[in-house]
Structure 1
Amino acid sequence: MATRTRFDDSDCPVARSVDAIGDWWSLLIVRDAFDGSRRFGEFQRSLGVAKNILTARLRSLVAGGVLASVPASDGSAYREYALTPKGEALFPVVVALRQWGEQHFFSPGEEHSELVDRRHEQPLRPLEVRSADGRTVRPGDTTVHKVPRP
């Protein structure tokens, strides 16, 4: 079996992020956590993933500080998985992927799920990348600069 390439020491933030949340199971677990899943069985039922794969991904997400293993909210002996602040910071990433998928992978009128604002029951506005002064920024408006070590 091929050895997985690691990017945890890369100088690229995208590479390090992909290293932490780079497989589809991990990102779908995070999506389900945003949707309220907390227990192993809830994740397993939602995703239909093999238990050994789910166990490995949950351990990795806990080790990476994205999820925390916490006592069950009902006081039982079970453990639950809760998003940490680091995990909650993935919300715009999940929303961006959702919006991209809605735009590019569904035919007009095709049934799909939709994320709505709980208060107003309205779909979210499309995410936009903005500059420090508030302008909408497109890929051609940016460049990558290396941050020197202090």
Structure 2
Amino acid sequence: MRRTSFHGWPCSIARTVDILGDGWTLLVLREVFFGESRFDGFIGTLGIARNTLTDRLRRLEEAGLLERRAYQSDPVRHAYLLTDKGRDFFGVLAAINAWGDRWQSGDEGVPTVLRHTACGHDTRARVVCSSCDEPLHHEDVTVRTGPGFPPRLLDDPAVRARFPAGEDAGTGP
């Protein structure tokens, strides 16, 4: 059963949740980033039900994060490969991984380690300001409406109180 859609919401987080939907979708993406691309491989590594996997792969393909390419013709079998949009999602997974390493790892330590091949060092994701490279913390950030925020919602005083109009801020991202 399909849940309520957040597709039209004026919030990038809600719209992203609309694509991801649940934990299986994130785990499928994780496996693709780790090198898996075949249906049976996902079944083997995740233990996911075939119908659930079919739904998640279809959702990721429709959203433009994965593309399906035939690698065998008789019977037809497909590999699921990251698109540019899908590759751009890596930072999100790396940030989730860093949070999980900090707050969900047991006494035995982190289960996986990211290694930056360019410099050869182990690393973890950090969220930094795109202008000054300082780490971003929630207490150091304010949210304002952007050009895509629906003007009709600004008629609500509660919305105006939560999201000041964008004119007072700098040039944006």
> What is the TM-score normalised by the length of structure 1?
0.87
Q: How many pairs does the alignment contain?
A: 148
Q: Secondary structure at the match of 2:15?
A: helix
* Alignment-derived partner of residue 124 in structure 1: 123
* Alignment-derived partner of residue 36 in structure 1: 35
Paired with 1:79 and 1:107, the residues of 2 have a C-alpha distance of 37
Paired with 1:120 and 1:141, the residues of 2 have a C-alpha distance of 30
Instruction: State the Cα distance separating 1:136 from its structure 2 match.
Output: 2.5
Q: Secondary structure at the match of 2:92?
A: helix
Per-residue deviation, residues 49-107 of structure 1 (Å, max 9, x unmatched): 000100111111111111000121x7774211000111111100010111111111113
Paired with 2:118 and 2:133, the residues of 1 have a C-alpha distance of 26
Larger CA Rg, structure 1 vs 2 = 2
Paired with 1:113 and 1:136, the residues of 2 have a C-alpha distance of 23
Per-residue deviation, residues 103-133 of structure 1 (Å, max 9, x unmatched): 1111343461222223555311441322513
Segments of structure 2 that go 5 or more residues without pairing to the other structure are 150-173
Paired with 1:149 and 1:85, the residues of 2 have a C-alpha distance of 23
Contact 2:129 2:135 in 1 (8 A): yes
In structure 2, relative to structure 1, the CA distance for the partners of 1:140 and 1:131 (3 Å cut) is farther
1:64-143 correspondence to structure 2 within 5 Å: 64-72=63-71, 77-110=76-109, 112-119=111-118, 121-143=120-142
Segments of structure 1 that go 5 or more residues without pairing to the other structure are none
In structure 2, relative to structure 1, the CA distance for the partners of 1:133 and 1:113 (3 Å cut) is closer
Paired with 2:129 and 2:140, the residues of 1 have a C-alpha distance of 10
1:48-67 correspondence to structure 2 within 5 Å: 48-67=47-66
Contact 1:70 1:79 in 2 (8 A): yes
> What is the TM-score normalised by the length of structure 2?
0.76
Paired with 1:134 and 1:101, the residues of 2 have a C-alpha distance of 23
Instruction: State the Cα distance separating 1:44 from its structure 2 match.
Output: 0.8
Paired with 2:16 and 2:25, the residues of 1 have a C-alpha distance of 12
- Name which of structure 1's ranges 116-125 and 83-92 shifts more when overlaid on structure 2: 116-125
Paired with 1:75 and 1:103, the residues of 2 have a C-alpha distance of 45
Per-residue deviation, residues 8-62 of structure 1 (Å, max 9, x unmatched): 0000011101111131011110000001111100111111000010011111111
- Name which of structure 1's ranges 41-50 and 111-120 shifts more when overlaid on structure 2: 111-120
Instruction: State the Cα distance separating 1:141 from its structure 2 match.
Output: 1.3
